[in-house]
């Protein structure tokens, strides 16, 4: 990814992060972020460093016997070659001495995905006279931010998903009323056909579960093991897909075959309210230009559910990063449960918002939309998120 044409954008991110440079370290693939940014391919068996300063050219510190992976390194950028640990440490001190550098380090392991540099290496860098801070915002900016084309493609995919989910719900209701109820797996297969017609792609899924099965958030129907969707059932559809070169949309919809019990309506209103509590916090902060972290958005949704007595039934994070390559992306997650996500939701990042309530042996419900942080505003997809339980 690091190339003369990309360097300008990376330097701007480094300047915005308030550091002198970004120091990438890898050894035996321990830090996949380093290999990806530095553009190194294949297994590297010796330590290397790549320093990208805010000003000036990047510098690589490479081992004498492993020059092959650096063939694409531009000739005008310095590449230091070491054989001994003394030369390695001297080169490091020459390059970063007195500097404030960002590394894949997460204080107290708040975000394990970003905590990739061994303790001894951080010590060595500090002993070289550098100050080490987290590269969290750099990784977000370089890995996770969407382009305008990504946004447009995501919006198209999101509207398809909303239409397909609503239609699938309606079909399940019709078939049950007609005395020919569908199985979960059959409906999932139909949804995949709708994806194909809309020229959307997915890695797996969707997940279609009747309420009792949805109480287990890891349940997935299979051809062999799949419940019948009967009148009176609650039904959950979680579906995700993207255009050929697009980014994912990821939604969950809830329906009821016939009128829902007041208890189920209350559960639905709680997950919907939690979803909207997170959205409200995000809109307030982003709209007023104040930073907000993924952890804070998780707290907003979780507090709403906890106050209504379902806290112990909300067993996962509120949402995950969706980046330009992955459904579960490298940007900030909406999470203060599984990890302490202290990363700021910078302009350009996107994520799911999907609080859920799971009552074993009874019912599981979730509502899921996606959020994209534009400059000064929050875009929610689809255009019309689910308001009431879909009675079909």
Residues engaged in binding its own copies (CB under 8 A): 27-28, 30, 46-47, 64-65, 83-85, 105-110, 112, 115-124, 127, 132, 218, 315, 336-340
Nearest distance, CB of residue 336 and its own copies, angstroms: 8
Nearest distance, CB of residue 135 and its own copies, angstroms: 12
CA pair distance 219, 360, nearest whole angstrom:
12
User: Between residues 31 and 264, which has the closer beta carbon with respect to its own copies?
Assistant: 31
User: Between residues 218 and 290, which has the closer beta carbon with respect to its own copies?
Assistant: 218
Phi and psi at residue 383, to the nearest 5°: -60, -40
Q: Which long-range contacts (CB under 8 A, 24 or more apart) does 63-70 make?
A: 68/42, 69/40, 69/41, 69/42, 69/44, 70/40
Nearest distance, CB of residue 114 and its own copies, angstroms: 8
User: Between residues 106 and 264, which has the closer beta carbon with respect to its own copies?
Assistant: 106
By the 8 A CB rule, do 333 and 320 touch?
A: yes
Nearest distance, CB of residue 263 and its own copies, angstroms: 25
DSSP string, 20-82: SEEEEEESTTS-HHHHHHHT--S---S-EEEEEESSS--EEEEETT--GGGTTS-TTS-EEEE
Q: In this structure, is the dihedral angle defined by the CA atoms of residues 30, 36, 40 and 42, taken in order, positive or negative?
A: positive
CA pair distance 342, 350, nearest whole angstrom:
16
User: Between residues 41 and 45, which has the closer beta carbon with respect to its own copies?
Assistant: 45
User: Between residues 134 and 155, which has the closer beta carbon with respect to its own copies?
Assistant: 134
Nearest distance, CB of residue 86 and its own copies, angstroms: 9
Phi and psi at residue 377, to the nearest 5°: -155, 160
SS3 286: helix
Nearest distance, CB of residue 337 and its own copies, angstroms: 5
By the 8 A CB rule, do 60 and 47 touch?
A: no
User: Between residues 106 and 270, which has the closer beta carbon with respect to its own copies?
Assistant: 106
């Amino acid at each position: 990814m690091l190339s003369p044409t990309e360097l300008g954008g990376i330097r701007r991110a480094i300047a915005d992060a308030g550091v002198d440079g970004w120091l990438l370290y890898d050894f035996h693939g321990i830090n996949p972020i380093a290999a990806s940014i530095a553009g190194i391919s294949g297994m590297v068996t010796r330590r290397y460093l790549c320093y990208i300063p805010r000003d000036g050219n990047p510098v690589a510190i490479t081992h004498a016997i492993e020059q092959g992976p650096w063939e694409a390194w531009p000739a005008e950028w310095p590449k230091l070659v070491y054989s001994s640990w003394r030369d390695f440490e001297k080169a490091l001190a020459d390059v970063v001495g007195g500097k404030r550098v960002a590394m894949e380090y997460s204080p107290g392991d708040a975000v394990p995905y970003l905590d990739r540099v061994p303790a001894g290496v951080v010590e060595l860098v500090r002993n070289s006279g550098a100050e080490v801070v987290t590269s969290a915002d750099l990784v977000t900016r370089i890995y996770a931010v969407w382009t305008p084309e990504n946004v447009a493609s995501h919006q198209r995919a999101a509207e398809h998903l909303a239409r397909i989910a609503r239609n699938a719900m309606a079909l399940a209701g019709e078939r049950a009323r007609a005395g020919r109820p569908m199985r979960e797996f059959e409906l999932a297969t139909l949804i995949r056909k709708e994806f194909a017609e809309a020229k959307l792609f997915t890695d797996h899924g969707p997940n279609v579960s009747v309420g009792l099965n949805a109480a287990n958030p890891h349940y997935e129907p299979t051809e062999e093991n799949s419940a019948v969707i009967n009148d009176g059932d609650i039904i959950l559809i979680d579906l995700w897909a993207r255009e050929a070169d697009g980014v994912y949309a990821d939604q969950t919809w809830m329906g009821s075959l016939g009128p829902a019990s007041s208890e189920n309506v209350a559960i639905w209103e709680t997950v919907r309210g939690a979803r909207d509590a997170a959205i409200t916090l995000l809109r307030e902060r982003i709209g007023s230009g104040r930073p907000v972290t993924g952890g804070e958005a998780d707290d907003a949704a979780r507090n709403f559910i906890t106050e209504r007595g379902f806290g112990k039934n909300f067993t996962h994070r509120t949402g995950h990063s969706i980046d330009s390559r992955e459904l579960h992306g490298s940007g900030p997650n909406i999470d203060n449960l599984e990890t302490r996500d202290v990363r700021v939701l910078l302009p350009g990042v996107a994520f799911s918002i999907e609080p859920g309530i799971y009552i074993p042996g009874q019912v599981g419900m979730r509502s899921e939309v996606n959020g994209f942080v534009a400059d000064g505003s929050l875009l929610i997809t689809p255009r019309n998120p689910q308001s009431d339980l879909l009675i079909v």
